[in-house]
Structure 1
């Protein structure tokens, strides 16, 4: 039996346990150094934090920055729950196309703007409703105005043809793509009307005060007269070019419902349909050629001869059988006649021999 082995190490002795794979703590008699005590405390703190951390949660800076889902859905994610009106695609930031940062298309024209363009154009196509005048009034490029007018005309034609239109989809896309809402336009229009009415009122007040001082009586203003008459904004008012009422735009240029303007695209669509039908009729086909421009004959009271022909699937089953049978009969008759002639010749020769033998025996 060997004794203890001497060691040159100065580390404290550690006892080996058979029930644990870890080394035991140093003996109470051995006092650790301050550095060792700090290392042990840090190790215990890290172990306690690992034990307290719930399973499944990520580690790293992102796990420390991201708040819980319940708090995030009530704070940062609340702005993405409902799209704001008139802000466009807010969830993709200020750069809708990252690969082409300079391309930032403008939002589509809202429905009420297109309706206003069409109403103004129908009211006076050659004057204030011309594409160039509408482009100047609405601050829209003339090419875009012409495209909008063509689409509006096509929409009216489709409504007459009872074709379904995706109006709900268009309105939703306008709201999501940042088209200005009608409330903003109404507010701007109201501000302009207020400014125009205030300018008219000031000018009329000045004129009435001067006239009143001259004549000794007070003249009511235009706004007061309108309130006394009880006029409504929905009533059609004739447009006066150059006046302050022109600020309201095409809504004041309302056409009587009885005077329906002629369709713009109807003749063009009819001509296009006729040309397309002619092209389709001229295409070659495997069917019988139709007689186009057939002559018209005068009908008579004599009944035309009628012959019924059977064109069923078995109508041609016996075609050629009679002729084939007749040819076979002729061939059989010829063979029979030839055979009978041969038999008759043999019989006649045999009878001649028998007769000659009788005559020789008698002699």
Structure 2
């Protein structure tokens, strides 16, 4: 995981709104004065604040365009957002607010889904809206003249966004489409479509949680090293409840009780210790905090298996404690 590419908050304007199939909205964002935007690397995302009445929701959206397009005068960022009526309201609000000429408060770009640019072979798996970071990766891998394949899975051809973009891209021939309404032989088959495990082969997976768990599980079973299986969750079904425990903020000298229905972040906030929280589902990494003592009960989808095993970090928006108490470096 990389550090933030840029942590500055800025206002960006919607310069183009494109309705894609599958209820996906493609939006281009630029500085109001046309100034150059901070460069981003493939796999990066931006945080967008969505105003809803008196509250503000922060949501994370992967940058899907060629990373080179952000640089220079009149550069822009491009994202794709699925309108999901079953979400917590962020995607619906974005579709409503993203009118040409409208503006958003934006932070980033940040990259927790870095591309291993020196890999001998790269295989990308995008499910539904999970195609967005894969498009930026495809642009970058093409620029580097690397060997790669992109598997794009959707419900049907009619619900497949970005087809025009892929059709005209110089790397479009590297994309394999899989649709749920096609015959079984044309759907994604991990036994057939996963490459042979190799130290120089890297896999990238993004999409709905069930899709990701399926592909990642198959990759591990096939013998791919966990360090070579990269994933980014847009959202996750998380159960943040459990037995109560205590949390001590070592630098602040404050100890709080975290109840069965509580979260560490909320308990600390009531005691005057604020930790930035954005996704509240353990997928964005904003709230990751160092653990000095105690055993975390990881409920997130952000930390790697190795980081979880170390037990030195925790996502305080959703994770809990296996021990009676935790001591955090805050």
Q: Give TM-score scaled by structure 2 length.
A: 0.20
TM-score by length of 1: 0.19
Structure richer in helix, relative to its length? 1
Larger Rg: 1
Relative to its length, the structure with more strand (as a share) is 2
